[in-house]
């Protein structure tokens, strides 16, 4: 199988530009980055799907190797629909951001900055455990549980 080098270079350029645009703070550039990543994924599927062949309709006497696999085409069509849905969603977010703040840049939230400036010590996760606080006995058999109850002065019933 030979791969078209032009499609590979185009796919790499779409991925590189899409990732670069995703790292921007402008929602419009993030949208363009998502669109480029979606198109790069479609080109990747197209480039790896193999050479073209005859139509996948049944024709008597045609060997199976000459047919085109229709699965990559279905995957590309599904990816196009998903990219369209994400684009519509992002356009709604961009429009709402523009109506509320007259800008499409994502600003730092003061609460996020406060959390980022905090010490990384977590009192629940990093505290030393002084005593074993488990409610369960280490013994699994019932006779050991009865022995533990007898030592504590409790009995579970008449003997």
* 123 domain residue, yes or no: no
Average pLDDT over residues 81-97: 93
- 99, part of any domain: yes
Q: What pLDDT shows up at residue 152?
A: 59
What's the mean pLDDT in 26-30?
A: 91
Tell me what pLDDT residue 148 has.
Answer: 56
Please report whether residue 128 resides in a domain: no
Residue 32 has pLDDT above 80, yes or no: yes
Torsion angle of the four alpha carbons 52, 55, 56, 61, in this order, in degrees rounded to the nearest 10: -110
* Mean pLDDT of the 92-104 span: 87
Higher pLDDT, 89 or 103: 89
Asked whether 28 and 36 are in contact (CB, 8 A), the reply is no
Instruction: For residue 152, tell me if it sits in a domain.
Output: no
Distance separating alpha carbons of residues 155 and 159, to the nearest angstrom? 9
In a domain, 30, yes or no: yes
Maximum average pLDDT range among 46-50, 131-135, 138-142 = 46-50
Phi-psi region of 102 (alpha: psi -120 to 50; beta: other; left: phi over 0): left
Instruction: For residue 158, tell me if it sits in a domain.
Output: no
Q: Give Rg (Cα) of the chain.
A: 31
CA torsion 146-147-149-151 (nearest 10°) is 160
Number of domains the chain is built from = 1
Q: Has residue 98 been placed in a domain? A: yes
Instruction: Using alpha carbons, select from 157, 152, 134 the residue that is nearest to residue 144.
Output: 152
- Please check whether residue 143 lies inside any domain of the structure: no
Residue 17's domain comprises 5-50+70-108
**Band (108; pLDDT cuts 50, 70, 90):** confident
Q: Does pLDDT of 109 surpass 70?
A: yes
Mean pLDDT along residues 19-41:
93
- 136 versus 4: which is more confidently predicted? 4
What is the CATH classification number for the domain harbouring 81?
Answer: 1.10.287.3510
């Amino acid at each position: 199988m030979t791969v078209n080098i032009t499609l590979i270079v185009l796919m790499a350029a779409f991925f590189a530009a899409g990732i670069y645009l995703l790292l921007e703070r402008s929602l419009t550039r993030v949208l363009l980055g998502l669109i480029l990543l979606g198109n790069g994924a479609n080109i990747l599927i197209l480039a790896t799907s193999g050479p073209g062949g005859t139509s996948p309709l049944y024709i008597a006497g045609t060997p199976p190797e000459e047919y085109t696999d229709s699965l990559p085409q279905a995957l590309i069509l599904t990816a196009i629909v998903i990219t369209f849905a994400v684009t519509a969603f992002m356009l709604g977010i961009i429009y709402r951001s523009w109506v509320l703040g007259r800008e499409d840049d994502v600003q730092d939230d003061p609460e996020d900055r406060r959390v980022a400036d905090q010490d990384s010590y977590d009192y629940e996760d990093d505290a030393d455990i002084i005593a074993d606080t488990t409610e369960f006995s280490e013994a699994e058999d019932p006779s050991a549980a009865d022995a533990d109850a007898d030592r504590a002065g409790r009995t579970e019933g008449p003997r």
